[in-house]
Amino acid sequence: MVNLVFLVFVSVFACVYSAVNATVKEITVNCDEDAVLPCEAGMDLGVAYRALLWYKCDEDLPDSLTGIIRMKLKRNLTQKFNGFNRSVEVLDDGSFDLKINKATVEDSGKYKCSLSAPLGMQNKKGYIRLKVLGCPTHQTVTYLDAYCIVFSMIILVALVACFLSWKCLKTVLEGGLNVTKEQVKINMKNIQKAANLPLFQNTSLNGGEAQNPAGNTCQHHTCLLLP
């Protein structure tokens, strides 16, 4: 018996919920066009409502609402909810319609218009659905693409710096090798000149003194002819 009552309750709730959703009016606009959402709260004539509130409904969680904008009607003061960054406004023609500037695909969904009544009167609410067409499925540039571009530029700059450093090092090394080769040639020439000088070995048997053809006395068994 309890199960039967529960099933009947669920069926009735589902029927009512489907009927409410089926009667929600839908507004269709193209991408980047201004969307005007009429307030379907069903205002009572002669009632001085205190405040107007617009919400966006979560499709998965019907009871979850995202605040868009609130308006204190007595002071005509409008304020957006914290965290809502879209460009919106309430029309000042007395209709309480919500205008979404340059609608995007993210703006598509179900919206709620709520009117806060004075004490002793009934609050009013209404729903409307917005559908935005013609928007690209993906943004042309995403955060990941931007990071990839920046990373590629860093890699390119690093490669250019490495190439320039390699060229400079190569130039220095080649210059050093050329200087070394020239120095070796000069040293070889000096050695060759020194080798061509006449050397005189000591012919003395006693290892004492020797004389060169000019009559100069030499020590240590070897003498060098001086000019």
- Number of structural domains (the chain) is 2
Query: Looking at the domain assignment, is residue 72 inside a domain?
Result: yes
User: How many residues would you count in the chain?
Assistant: 227
Q: Where are the alpha helices (DSSP H) in the chain?
A: 2-22, 143-195
To the question of pTM greater than 0.75 for the whole model, the response is: no
CATH number for 34: 2.60.40.10
The answer to whether 147 touches 97, Cβ cutoff 8 Å, is: no
Q: Are residues 31 and 114 in the same domain?
A: yes
Closest CA to 200 of 219, 181, 176: 219
Domain edge (last residue) among 133, 156, 182? 133
Q: What distance in Å separates the CA atoms of residue 48 and residue 76, rounded to the nearest whole number?
A: 13
Asked if residues 69 and 79 have their Cβ atoms less than 8 Å apart, the reply is yes
Tell me, yes or no, whether 126 and 152 share the same domain. Answer: no
- Residues 77/143, Cβ–Cβ less than 8 Å: no
Shared-domain flag, residues 100 and 153: no
Print pLDDT tens along the chain (227 aa).
545 545 445 454 444 444 445 588 999 999 999 999 999 998 888 899 999 999 999 988 877 999 999 999 988 899 999 989 999 999 988 889 999 999 999 999 999 999 999 999 999 999 999 999 998 875 555 666 777 888 888 999 999 888 888 788 877 776 666 656 677 778 777 877 777 655 444 444 444 444 454 555 544 444 444 45
pLDDT of residue 87: 94
The number of angstroms, rounded, from the C-alpha of 16 to the middle of its chain's C-alpha atoms is 47
Assigned domain for 18 exists: no
* pLDDT, position 125: 94
- How far is 19 from 11, CA to CA, in rounded Å? 12
Specify if 1 maps to a domain: no
Beta bridge partners of 116: 51
Q: What is the pLDDT of residue 190?
A: 80
Same domain, 200 and 151: yes
Q: Which pLDDT score is estimated for 26?
A: 96
- Gap between the Cα atoms of 68 and 88, Å rounded: 8
Q: Indicate whether 55 and 82 sit together in one domain.
A: yes
70: containing domain: 24-133
